[in-house]
């Protein structure tokens, strides 16, 4: 029992220190575009549980990003709605966030561009034009892509406030995490990139 209490206290101290270091990193950044937001373990009851969000826009007016590791279960209905039903093999469709769930985006490598394509970084772009769907079906689309529905959005100062409250960890974006990492280990892999083996902190965790 005593060992269990000590372990819980250690976890709380660990996450407080980790979040403090993350805040120091945030203070050095004015813009989190082309960064990942990684949920902390205490967010396990939210929509973003074990989620990773790729930030595509961040300025004084707020921020916008798409979650990249939450496949939507009812894929056939979604693929039919967005004319992906003829593609083989069928791609996963991801929940980008709770905002505007009828809007689709494709996050992809920078080997493709059309009207509505936003270059987020030198390696990653975001396209909202449905032309990308027909181009993928015709073999003229990007080599690596993820299709997402909806997005995650923050108003002015909202994301900064959430970061100060320890709701997210910050990780520089890496296209290999998006396109080459299985969904079920992406969250743990992100923490490994932060130098943390999240498996060492099993059980309930939280910060009080």
Position with higher pLDDT, 181 vs 30: 181
Q: Percentage of the chain with pLDDT > 70?
A: 74
Residues whose CB falls within 8 Å of the CB of residue 181, separated by 6 or more in sequence, listed in order:
189
Domain boundaries, the chain: 2-201
19-23, 90-94, 195-199: the lowest-pLDDT one: 19-23
| DSSP notation for 98-160 | SEEEEEEEEEEETT---TTEEE-SSSEEEE--THHHHHHHTT-S-SSEEEEEEEEEE-TTHHH
CATH topology assigned to domain 2-201: VC0467-like (3.40.1740)
Closest of 181, 157, 194 to residue 21, by C-alpha = 194
Give the pLDDT score at 202: 53
Say what the pTM is: 0.81
CA angle 80, 82, 88 (to 5 degrees): 65
| pLDDT at 19 (0 to 100) | 46
Predicted local confidence at residue 37, as pLDDT = 95
Q: What is the Cα–Cα distance from 3 to 128, expressed in whole angstroms?
A: 52
Q: Which residue would you say has higher pLDDT here, 202 or 75?
A: 75
pLDDT band per the 50, 70, 90 thresholds, residue 4: very low
pLDDT over 60 at 26, yes or no = no
pLDDT confidence bin for 195, thresholds 50/70/90: confident
């Amino acid at each position: 029992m005593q060992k269990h209490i000590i372990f819980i206290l250690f976890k709380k101290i660990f996450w407080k220190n980790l979040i403090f270091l993350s805040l120091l990193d945030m203070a050095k950044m004015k813009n989190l575009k082309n960064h990942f937001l990684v949920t902390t373990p205490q967010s396990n009851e939210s929509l973003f549980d074990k989620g990773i969000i790729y930030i595509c826009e961040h300025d004084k007016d707020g921020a916008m990003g798409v979650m990249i590791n939450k496949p939507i279960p009812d894929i056939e209905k979604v693929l039919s709605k967005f004319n992906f039903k003829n593609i083989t093999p069928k791609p996963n469709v991801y929940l980008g966030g709770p905002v505007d769930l009828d809007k689709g985006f494709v996050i992809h490598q920078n080997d493709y561009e059309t009207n509505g394509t936003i270059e987020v970084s030198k390696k990653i772009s975001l396209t909202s034009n449905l032309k990308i769907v027909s181009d993928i079906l015709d073999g003229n689309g990007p080599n690596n892509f993820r299709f997402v529905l909806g997005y995650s959005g923050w108003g002015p100062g909202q994301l900064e406030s959430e970061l100060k409250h320890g709701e997210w960890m910050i990780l520089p974006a890496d296209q290999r995490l998006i396109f080459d990492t299985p969904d079920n280990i992406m969250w743990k892999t992100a923490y490994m990139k932060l130098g943390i083996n999240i498996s060492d902190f099993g059980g309930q965790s939280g910060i009080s």
